[in-house]
Amino acid sequence: MAEKTGFPTEAAEVKHTGLVTEATGVKKTALVAGAAGVIGSSLVQYLESLGDWKVISLSRRGGPQHIPVDLLDPEDSKRQLAHLKDITHVFYSAFVDKPTWIALVPPNLAMLTNLINAVEPNNKGLQHVSLMQGYKVYGAHYGPFKTPARETDANHMPPEFNIDQQQFLEQRQSGSKWSWSAIRPSVVGGTSLGNPMNLALVIAMYAGISKELNLPLRFPGKPGAYRTIMEMTDADLLAKATIWAATTPSAANQAFNVSNGDLFRWEELWPKIADYFHMETAPTLPMPLKTIMADKGPLYKKMQDKYGLAPHPYEELSSWTFGDFVFSWDYDFFGDGSKLRRMGFHTYVDTEKMFYQLFDKFKSEKVIPG
């Protein structure tokens, strides 16, 4: 069992050559869709650290090592990906957010379909398609769901884009040489910025601004949420588990819950997080972050000047709706992560330390004061 220490430097030598990252001794080629995301960015980093992968990244916004592509557009997907011929593994963690559960279905199913349509015909050596899901498969977003949630639990009533995506892959894979896996993390702890779902960033920004106002770090969710049993999934651990499932023959064509391996209640962890920020706590008060943080942009701008913070727009750092969502869960929120471990993946992350390492990173990258 290993605790989180960041990625090992397993890479022999990694060259950045235009749109692909190529390592010496390359045996496999990964196409990562959603590479700019909370999940996809860690996946890219981990693949690059391994040394035997060529890594090709996709996202709309592009970037030094990204192919810019709009997966919602079938023609753009075919055009931008037509030159790819040696993909062995597709890692799908793209996601487009929408205001309702039903509205999530068409675009998220279309993006996966457009990607596979653009890649499968030209890449005869395709071995695996990995699909990033989450506990929405278990109905965790609706209310008290059965815990621990297991991979064998029955599906819930549609609409549910995660289930539609998995069914699409299952049907498409039937009779093909490649296999699929479906990866189901809990709430993910990662360091990427400008994404709609990053809980550690929500807490770091909320703490930084509370501290600037000389306020205690007050849990802003439902009182019941303070006492519920929770778990998290570290983005680096998730990357390792995703690649393990994509490259382990006995894991083919299956789903896996992926979590850190420990459970917590905010009532125990929150005061420790306050300690980390050298802050006091105060009794919980259900305050919608989306409302109370809406007018804090000018204050954050002053903090950027005062503490020499990086010039990120406040709006890009604010996943307040996601914070409100997570802090509203006044029911147990955890899955059974034993299938993954029983089948041979044994990495474990201490959730308390994970938070401190993520906060350290936000400090060192000058997102919050040090």
Residues that bind ligand NAP (CB under 6 A): 34-40, 59-61, 69-72, 93-96, 111, 132, 134, 185, 187-188, 195-197
For the bound state, the minimum distance from the C-beta of residue 140 to ligand NAP, rounded and expressed in Å, comes to 9
For the bound state, the minimum distance from the C-beta of residue 243 to ligand NAP, rounded and expressed in Å, comes to 16
In the bound complex, which residue of the shown chain has the CB atom lying closest to ligand NAP? Answer: 37
For the bound state, the minimum distance from the C-beta of residue 170 to ligand NAP, rounded and expressed in Å, comes to 17
The SS3 call for residue 359 is helix
For the bound state, the minimum distance from the C-beta of residue 37 to ligand NAP, rounded and expressed in Å, comes to 2
For the bound state, the minimum distance from the C-beta of residue 310 to ligand NAP, rounded and expressed in Å, comes to 19
Is the Cβ of residue 40 or residue 208 nearer to ligand NAP in the bound state? 40
Buried/exposed code over 194-213 (b: 16+ C-beta within 10 A; e: otherwise): bbebbbbbbbbbbbbbbbbe
CA distance 370 to 368: 6
Q: Is the dihedral of CA 172, 175, 178, 184 positive or negative?
A: positive
Is the Cβ of residue 226 or residue 333 nearer to ligand NAP in the bound state? 333
Please give the angle made by the CA atoms of 68, 131 and 150, to the nearest 5 degrees. Answer: 150
Is the Cβ of residue 11 or residue 188 nearer to ligand NAP in the bound state? 188
The SS3 call for residue 329 is coil
CB-CB neighbours of 341 under 10 Å: 16
Is the Cβ of residue 129 or residue 197 nearer to ligand NAP in the bound state? 197
For the bound state, the minimum distance from the C-beta of residue 110 to ligand NAP, rounded and expressed in Å, comes to 9
Q: Which conformational region is residue 61 in: left (phi greater than 0), alpha (psi within -120 to 50 degrees), or beta? A: alpha
- Residue among 212, 187, 215, 213 nearest 201 (CA): 187
Is the Cβ of residue 35 or residue 251 nearer to ligand NAP in the bound state? 35
CB 4 within 8 A of CB 354: yes
Question: From start to end of 80-210, where are the E strands?
Answer: 89-92, 128-132, 179-185, 187-189
The SS3 call for residue 168 is helix
Is the Cβ of residue 239 or residue 303 nearer to ligand NAP in the bound state? 239
Tokens of 2: 């290993």
Is the Cβ of residue 80 or residue 253 nearer to ligand NAP in the bound state? 80
For the bound state, the minimum distance from the C-beta of residue 138 to ligand NAP, rounded and expressed in Å, comes to 11
